[in-house]
Chains A and B, each alone.
Chain A
Amino acid sequence: EAGVAQSPRYKIIEKRQSVAFWCNPISGHATLYWYQQILGQGPKLLIQFQNNGVVDDSQLPKDRFSAERLKGVDSTLKIQPAKLEDSAVYLCASSLEGTSGRDTQYFGPGTRLTVL
């Protein structure tokens, strides 16, 4: 079974530039998550999709971050404009249902973003 795919793996940009990350979840998984993991911290949920609808985006900085999951499959997370504090690893995860709290979340390898 193929895992969660993410690209790119690494990205270096200057502040005020824009960047986009792509995620393809495990086939058939209804729920998709984007996490931000700052160095020395645990992952923090940015946004959660159930199929193509947003379930939770309470911690997404909406003035600069946006995410979409068209057709309920793959997803894109965008940052525009980037700030120095956005330097982090961006993790994508998926789970089969995500509605009961018991689902296992499967994580991709992440995209390491460095903002200079």
Chain B
Amino acid sequence: AQSVTQPDIHITVSEGASLELRCNYSYGATPYLFWYVQSPGQGLQLLLKYFSGDTLVQGIKGFEAEFKRSQSSFNLRKPSVHWSDAAEYFCAVGARGFQKLVFGTGTRLLVSP
């Protein structure tokens, strides 16, 4: 069975600074990897996903993530954070076939002025 670890519960970043959120996964084969964002009172929105091919994936809102098989990681990055990026971010891993997503515990991003 697959699993996901997001080691950082909270991260505070200054507006305009760069961001990296960590995600480590466990799965026996090549996983399907996702990053979702959840703003207060709202459902989850997909930022980006990785299935195969180019290991650097571009998403919405200026986010990108890099799949590193050797490190079992799929870290999310953004070069310049905006105050509106403050939210909770979830990494998820899926498997082939019927899509059962397993989510990490999330990282809450706080943006300071």
Mask of A95-116 contacts with B, CB within 8 angstroms, 1/0: 1001111111111111000000
Cross-chain contact of A101 among B4, B32, B106 (Cβ < 8 A): B32
Does chain B have a CB within 8 A of A87?
no
Does chain B have a CB within 8 A of A24?
no
A20 to B45: give the CA distance in the assembly, Å: 24
A101 in contact with B97 given A43-B103, A44-B103 (CB within 8 Å): yes
The range of chain A's interface size is 20 to 34
Mask of A13-27 contacts with B, CB within 8 angstroms, 1/0: 000000000000000
Does chain B have a CB within 8 A of A61?
no
A-side contacts of B94, CB under 8 Å: 101
Cross-chain contact of A108 among B43, B49, B105 (Cβ < 8 A): B43
List residues 3-52 of chain A with CB under 8 A from any CB of chain B. Answer: 4, 31, 40-45, 48, 50
The range of chain B's interface size is 20 to 34
Evaluate contact between A45 and B100: CB separation under 8 angstroms. yes
Shortest distance between the CB of B94 and any CB in chain A (Å): 5
Cross-chain contact of B99 among A40, A41, A95, A107 (Cβ < 8 A): A95
A-side contacts of B103, CB under 8 Å: 42-44
Interface residues, chain A, with chain B CB atoms under 8 Å away: 4, 31, 40-45, 48, 50, 55-56, 91, 93, 95, 98-110
Q: Can you identify 29 A-B contacts, CB atoms within 8 angstroms? A: A31-B99, A40-B105, A40-B106, A42-B90, A42-B104, A42-B105, A43-B44, A45-B100, A45-B102, A48-B98, A50-B98, A55-B98, A56-B98, A56-B100, A91-B44, A98-B99, A99-B97, A100-B96, A101-B94, A101-B96, A101-B97, A101-B99, A102-B99, A103-B99, A104-B46, A104-B49, A105-B99, A107-B44, A109-B41
